[in-house]
Amino acid sequence: MEKTNTQILKEKLFRPKKNGWESKNIDKNKIMTFAKDYIDFINKAKTERECVQEFTKILKENGFKNLQSEQNLKAGDKVYYINRYKNIYAAVIGSDDLTKGFNIVGAHIDSPRLDLKPNPLYESAELAMFKTHYYGGIKKYQWVNIPLSMHGIIMTKDNKKIEINIGEQEDEPIFTIADLLPHLSSQQNKKKLDEAIGGEDLNILVGSIPYETDEEISEKVKLNILNLLNQKYGIVERDFVSSEIEFVPALKAKSLGFDQSLVAGYGQDDRVCAYTSLKALLNVNNPKRTAICLLADKEEIGSMGNTGMSSRSFEYFLEQILDKTIGNKPGLLDEIFQSTRVLSADVTGGYNPNYPSTYEKNNESYIGHGISVIKYTGSASKGGASDANAEFVGYIRNLFETNNIAYQNSEMGKIGIGGGGTIAYILADKGVDVIDCGVPVISMHSPYEITSKFDIYNAYKAYEVFYQDE
């Protein structure tokens, strides 16, 4: 049937909201293959340190060199810089005058988790336990009675670095936090959800056999655990004070759904944007503008610290690049920032059909509708938001539309119901143009976050065209 004039007018004027899987020109095989590699990656890299290790390997395999070992850089050169094992930057040098600005995609590689306290090990009721301090915004009740694995490093008194990774392999033990049985939970059940499990209740069970001796001594189970750790790693109790041990879900990331369209897995905030932005950079060869991927730590606790976005280590990296290309001088980097474009590649909340009253349905991110472009984050009054200029939003939508990138524009939830932040405002402080742009996630910050393979692939493509735009 012929379309009526009114139908034609509507098609011309309305913005279509389209499920990405229904798009004409998508290659499902490519999407599925990309997602498979991504799933392998998030199963291997469950902490910021492990991300840096995996990314360094990938960068080296793709011709990136350590910035510190290079004296001079020229157009087309590929370099990376690692900041204290937890934060990494990579760049492909452009052929244009560097003072015309950089194209930067910035994501973060830390995720919510349970850290050990400085004095973690104790014994109670002949069980050995670890005290934890949670990192990032978690719903604490989600972290009990799930398998946990132990990752991180311990520095000994004589400065030896012990790397720990227990609970990911089939033949390794896991750990868990024991919740109260329902039979005895009548009082706990009356508490508010965020009070039912407190921060001090997140104690991890780590053993139960007493040290074998005829002597009458106390804390034999704790002694036995310390003895095992001493035999395996050479550590003593005091060594925990100089450790960074993170407990994360020992769950394997997998395809989700009969149609395998989704990914369920831990740490997708924000490793889904970190992985896609780094993979996209690998496709950038001889760009005009210098393309940079920045992967920050500490975003989940406010971006402070020397590996967080607020540290000057990123400027140091850029100044090193200037030193080794056109020569740095005072004020030059500030000048370059004025014409630098940044995508703050962080996830946003995807519409969850279990909680319709939470959302304002015209302005949410929908799973499978492509990458989300978020003009501003913040809370009720837009407080704390870096609100991108319309001119820059216009540039981004034009870029995405020209390159057939599926994108959506959204807020996160109804006004006043909550809020969130990203590294965008810290980059905006430097004087760059910046906008949030990432993959929508359902059940964000939970031990098992959900994303769409279509959105993941679109993020990868979106970052690639952004890096390469002149």
**Encoding tokens for residue 412?**
């996160």
Choices 6-14, 19-27, 264-272, 283-291 (CB under 5 A): range interacting with Mn ion: 264-272
Contact (Cβ atoms closer than 8 angstroms) between residue 198 and residue 140: yes
Choices 16-24, 139-147, 261-269, 312-320 (CB under 5 A): range interacting with Mn ion: 261-269
Site string for Mn ion, 217-256 (x = CB under 5 A): ----------------------------------------
User: Any contact of residue 269 with Mn ion (CB under 5 A)?
Assistant: yes
Q: What is the rounded distance in angstroms from the CA atom of residue 196 to the CA atom of residue 187? A: 9
Q: How far is the CB of 353 from Mn ion (least distance, A)?
A: 21
Contact (Cβ atoms closer than 8 angstroms) between residue 261 and residue 368: yes
Q: Which is nearer to Mn ion, 118 or 137 (CB)?
A: 137
Total residues at interface with Mn ion (CB under 5 A)? 3
Q: Which is nearer to Mn ion, 52 or 225 (CB)?
A: 52
Q: Which is nearer to Mn ion, 301 or 399 (CB)?
A: 301
Cα 255 from chain centroid?
Answer: 19
Give the residue closest to Mn ion by C-beta.
Answer: 270
Q: What is the rounded distance in angstroms from the CA atom of residue 22 to the CA atom of residue 372? A: 18
In the beta sheet, which residues pair with residue 134?
Answer: 114
Residues 319-378 that bind Mn ion (CB under 5 A): 346
**Encoding tokens for residue 207?**
């053993």
Q: Which is nearer to Mn ion, 164 or 442 (CB)?
A: 442
Q: Which is nearer to Mn ion, 241 or 304 (CB)?
A: 304
Q: How far is the CB of 274 from Mn ion (least distance, A)?
A: 10
Q: Which is nearer to Mn ion, 41 or 175 (CB)?
A: 41
User: Any contact of residue 270 with Mn ion (CB under 5 A)?
Assistant: yes
Q: Which of 44, 56, 130, 43 is nearest to 88 (CA)?
A: 56
Q: How far is the CB of 110 from Mn ion (least distance, A)?
A: 9
3-state DSSP percent of the chain in helix, strand and coil, to 5: 35, 25, 40
Q: Residue 190 CB: number of other CB atoms within 10 A?
A: 9
Cα 443 from chain centroid?
Answer: 14
Q: Which is nearer to Mn ion, 297 or 346 (CB)?
A: 346
User: Any contact of residue 436 with Mn ion (CB under 5 A)?
Assistant: no
> CB burial class (10 A; 0-12, 13-18, 19+) of residue 379?
middle
Q: How far is the CB of 310 from Mn ion (least distance, A)?
A: 15
Q: How far is the CB of 151 from Mn ion (least distance, A)?
A: 18
Identify each DSSP E strand in 250-368 by its residue range.
254-256, 262-265, 290-296, 341-344, 348-349
Which residues sit at the interface with Mn ion, rule CB under 5 A?
Answer: 269-270, 346
